[in-house]
Amino acid sequence: MYRYRINFTKEGEFACLSHLELQRTFIRALRRAGVPMAYSQGFNPQPRISFAAPLAVGIESNNEYLEVDLSASLKSDELKRALNCQLPPALAVQKVQPADPLAPALAAQVEAALYLVNFSSYALEFAAAVQSLAGATVLEVERPGKDRQKKVNIRPFIYNLCLQNVSGEGKLFMFLATGNRGGARPSEIIDLLPRQTGPVKVRRLSVFIPGPEGYITPEGEALPLFWERSY
Amino acid sequence: MAALLAAVQRPARYLGQEINSICRDPRQAEVHLALAFPDLYEVGMSHLGLKILYALANDLPGVYVERVFAPAADLEQILRKEKIPLFSLESRTALNRFDLVGFTLQYELSYTAILLMLDCGAIPLHSSQREDNDPFILGGGPLAYNPEPLAPFFDLLVIGDAEEALPELLELYRAWKKRGRRGRRHFLREAALLPGIYVPSLYRDHYDKSGKFAGISALTGEAALPVRKRVVTDLEKAVYPRCFIVPYMEIVHDRAVLELFRGCSQGCRFCQAGYIYRPVRERPVEKLREQAGQMIAGTGFSELSLASLSSSDYSAINKLVSALEEDFAGEQVELSLPSLRADTHAVRLACRLQKGKAAGVTIAPEAGTQRLRDAINKKITEDDVLEAAAVALQEYGSHVKLYFMLGLPTETLADLEGMAELVRKISMIGRGGKGRKKGPSPINVSVSTFVPKVHTPFQWEPQLAVAEIRSRLDFLRRELRKSKGVSFSSHDTGMSLLEAVLARGDRRLAAVVERAYQLGSRLDAWHDRFSLSRWEEALSRANLSARDYAGYAPAHNDPLPWDHLSTGIDKEFLIREHRRAMEGTITPACRNGICAGCGLENCSHSEHGRAQ
């Protein structure tokens, strides 16, 4: 069995696809590409494909990852080319790399994600609000539970927030916990900030796994430098 | 658009840009046609006819075809608030900017969605209000055989197969547009000369003093009486899409589909499809095999449905299935046979294809006693049903779903008892089966209510009154509770009533459809949106009653509001079949050289029959 890690984008209007819709889209693209997919055993064989971290509807992304198992080995570039012929440009495959099929799946390793929120205006009270979020020890939000809403403290899942004023537009970088051990959703934090009049665009820059010296991207890159100037 | 997608539920309904959708510059198109399905994306995208016409018309020179579906409640609200007209999926063109908009008429409960789409698309609802720069509104599909309740809203209707009629109509339109696109009525009169094209505004309906329908007359020489349906005689040469559009969201029938044959010669007397789609026309195995290969390669679907009105009647079904199994060996493509007759061979084939999955098989005895099955010409016996169920339950450990129809003409208490008894016998097989574990109920009984359909022998029969239907359903529910492991579901009686009203309606109902729409009816086929009271109010404002339509039992020589539209089958034949139903006499399927004499021209069986 041969595992490949596929790095792709989710741009523009395609941010509206749900996680399930994205899965179906990739499975069908792989099938159309004529790729020799490996299937699970049993009555209802399913393609062996796993996404690193589900992305909430409405969020664009520079770097999404999935891993797929094939029954034969392929050149990474060939797989990339074949897939890009079968995908809309907004879901472009940027990189394909072979991965170790015996190592834990990327989905099990991802612990954090970096988001960039673009606000159409930058206001001083906004900076104060971000600062007070960063200074809080408890931030409770409501999440739908099985029977009723439940309260969750998301403060421990907020690793860092960094607000920048770029020619009058507010750019908020958010480094948040995500994955199996809990996390915060970008929309939960945006809802805690003063209400915006203009559009708010959210983009995931990458997901992160723990490395020997802090968090790294699946490609092995460290967090960007601007991080030193954060709250 | 991004803001709009962010503001609605399931935005993939409106995203477009699917693989295999056709994107061109609409300004380059000489004829710009919107194919409209009056329901949500996930329903409309499951419809084979839409896919066939999309492929067919986009291949015509100078023609560009796009899709448009009904907006869900949340999008409708935004469109109205922001004053955005309903738009097509491909180029996001406002509906009123198209040359023509073609609606498919598949079920009565979609009628208000047609008005919704016209209204949201900024197109005047009435044909008479449209001007030269408005699109022409056309309709087609099974309910075009009685479009009278929609007559004022449509400019043109295609009666029968659209494969040849649509290109002719589009060609005529192109010429009219080239001449300066002036004079709608002139174009309509020209179009009426094409075979199979019905222009409702060229006809007038008449009623007698008591309000009884008294006939329809042509207002101009171009208007044919009757309008005869179009038939594609050679299905082998007919266009079939090489690839379906691959939706991003999950749709109702999320799979590739082959159309094995069109038409059905069984002649079940309640079934409209069995009459209007005659004669049976098969596609050859090799052609289907080629289409299947292209379809799977081009879509990536993992299921291929072998569709038709009665798939096990396909003359080479075994050969086809083996060939496809061979073609897709090792490719993870599941074949499914959706419409089966209850015979052990067909059920065994369907179960084998499912490879032990829980999908189960559906058997449709329709009625509970042999007497009633004979009356409706459903030519299967109790033994057929029991043996087929035994194969599914015992040999394959599969689930069984049973379809029945309640309120069929001549039905009595004995027939309902027979239904319960048949279900009890099947539930006994299940429990007797070896190796069956106790678990979820293996038998699912689904009961729909008889709706008299036009152009069938039962078009002269009334639907039972709602109170009677309810009491019969209650009786059945009580009886079925005595059998273990049986789950029961039934069709909404209010919906069945409305279907019966609209199915055999006349032009007076158009005001009712419009009023119901204004009162808030849309997407009536969705249980969470349906309200019978709105329709009752609309009917009462027009001084009409649901019972008068649903309970209508005309005499054989009474004029009917759909008499001017011909399926090619003699009315005399339908009368004969109606009489045979009342006597409980079956009529054999018109295959194997046996001709029932329905009067259809160009039918290989009738030639055979005449030769004998």
Task: Say which amino acid occupies B407.
Answer: G
The domain that contains B153 carries what CATH number?
3.40.50.280
Residue B257: both structure tokens together: 């589909």
Residue B251: inside a domain, yes or no? no
- The band of B346, judged by pLDDT with boundaries at 50, 70 and 90, is confident
Q: How many residues does chain B have?
A: 612
Residue B374: name the closest of B609, B584, B69, B608 by CA.
B584
Residue B329: inside a domain, yes or no? no
Residue B181: the pLDDT is 92
Residue B435: the pLDDT is 52
A2-108 and A110-229 have identical folds: yes
We find that the CATH architecture of domain A2-108 is 2-Layer Sandwich (3.30)
pLDDT score of B216 more than 80: yes
Residue B563: the pLDDT is 97
Residue B341: the pLDDT is 81
What 8-state DSSP symbol labels residue B122? T
Residue A148: the pLDDT is 87
β-sheet bridge partners, residue A6: A66, A96
Domain definitions of chain A by residue range:
2-108, 110-229
* Residue at a domain's end among B465, B491, B517: B491
What does the buried/exposed string (b/e) look like for B399-431 if buried means 16 or more CB atoms within 10 Å of the residue's CB?
A: bbbbebbbbbbebeeebbebbbbbbbebbebbe
pLDDT tens digits for B102-126? 999 999 999 999 999 999 999 999 9
Average pLDDT by stretches of 10, chain A with 231 residues: 97 96 98 95 88 96 97 97 97 97 94 92 83 92 88 94 86 92 93 82 95 91 65 49
Distance, CA of B605 to CA of B433 (rounded, Å) = 43
pLDDT score of B227 more than 50: yes
φ, ψ (nearest 5 deg) of residue B393: -75, -45
Question: Is the same domain home to B175 and B82?
Answer: yes
pLDDT score of B554 more than 60: yes
- The band of B606, judged by pLDDT with boundaries at 50, 70 and 90, is low
Number of structural domains (chain B) is: 3
Name the helix (H) or strand (E) containing B390.
helix B382-390
Q: Residue B297: which of A12, A32, A45 has the nearest Cβ?
A: A32
Residues B12, A45: C-beta atoms closer than 8 Å = no
- The band of B375, judged by pLDDT with boundaries at 50, 70 and 90, is very high
Distance, CA of B169 to CA of B197 (rounded, Å) = 8
Question: Is the same domain home to B147 and B36?
Answer: yes
Interface test with A, best of B75, B248, B296, B328 (most A CBs within 10 A): B248
Q: How many residues does chain A have?
A: 231
- Maximum pairwise Cα distance, chain A: 60
| Range list of β-strands (E), B426-491 | 443-449, 486-490
Q: Give the count of Cβ contacts less than 8 A between chain A and B.
A: 60
Residue B323: name the closest of B264, B263, B261, B258 by CA.
B258
Say how many C-beta atoms besides its own lie within 10 A of residue B91's C-beta. Answer: 17
Name the helix (H) or strand (E) containing B52.
helix B48-58
Residue B609: the pLDDT is 38
Global pTM value: 0.94
Complex ipTM more than 0.85, yes or no = yes
Residue A229: the pLDDT is 47
* Residue at a domain's end among B457, B491, B525: B491
pLDDT score of B286 more than 80: yes
Residue A45: the pLDDT is 86
Residue B493: the pLDDT is 96
Evaluated on CA atoms B21, B25, B26, B28, the torsion sign reads negative
Residues B332, A45: C-beta atoms closer than 8 Å = yes
| Chain A: residue whose CA lies nearest to B18 | A88
φ, ψ (nearest 5 deg) of residue A73: -85, 145
DSSP assignment of B346-410: HHHHHHHHHTT-TT-EEEEEESSSHHHHHHTT----HHHHHHHHHIIIIIT---EEEEEEES-TT
Residue B357: the pLDDT is 63
Residue B243: inside a domain, yes or no? no
3-state secondary structure of B93: coil
φ, ψ (nearest 5 deg) of residue B136: -85, 135
Residue B350: name the closest of B328, B335, B329, B365 by CA.
B335
- Chain centroid, CA B355 distance in Å: 30
Q: In angstroms, what separates the C-alpha of B428 from chain A's closest C-alpha?
A: 27
Higher-pLDDT residue of B346 and B437 is B346
Q: How many CA atoms lie within 13 A of A194 on its CB side?
A: 16
Residue B356: the pLDDT is 59
Residues B356, A30: C-beta atoms closer than 8 Å = no
* Residue at a domain's end among B441, B457, B491: B491
Evaluated on CA atoms B442, B448, B450, B456, the torsion sign reads negative
Residue B199: inside a domain, yes or no? yes
| Chain B: residue whose CA lies nearest to A86 | B19
Residues A16, B5: C-beta atoms closer than 8 Å = yes
Residue A38: both structure tokens together: 């490996």
Residues A28, B246: C-beta atoms closer than 8 Å = yes
Q: For chain B, what percent of residues have pLDDT higher than 70?
A: 96
| Range list of β-strands (E), B455-525 | 486-490
3-state secondary structure of B466: helix
Residue B265: name the closest of B284, B244, B281, B289 by CA.
B281
pLDDT tens digits for A19-37? 999 999 999 999 999 999 9
Evaluated on CA atoms B343, B344, B350, B354, the torsion sign reads positive
pLDDT tens digits for B320-329? 999 999 999 9
Higher-pLDDT residue of B397 and B582 is B582
Q: Provide, as residue numbers in chain A, all residues whose Cβ is less than 8 Å from the Cβ of B399.
A: none
pLDDT tens digits for B380-437? 999 999 999 888 888 887 888 999 999 999 999 999 999 999 999 998 886 544 455 5
CATH of the structural domain A110-229, one choice from 3.30.70, 2.60.40, 1.10.3820, 1.10.3470: 3.30.70
Residue B97: the pLDDT is 97
Residues A16, B15: C-beta atoms closer than 8 Å = yes
Task: Say which amino acid occupies A127.
Answer: A
In A, what residues contact B, Cβ < 8 A? 12-18, 20-21, 24-25, 27-32, 34, 37, 39, 43-45, 47, 57-58, 86, 88, 199
Q: Are B66 and B88 in contact (CB under 8 A)?
A: yes
What does the buried/exposed string (b/e) look like for B130-159 if buried means 16 or more CB atoms within 10 Å of the residue's CB?
A: beeebbbbbbbbbbbbbbbbbbbbbbbbbb
Structural domain range at position B603: 573-611
Average pLDDT over chain B, rounded to whole? 93
Residue B305: name the closest of B51, B491, B123, B115 by CA.
B51
φ, ψ (nearest 5 deg) of residue B206: -130, 150
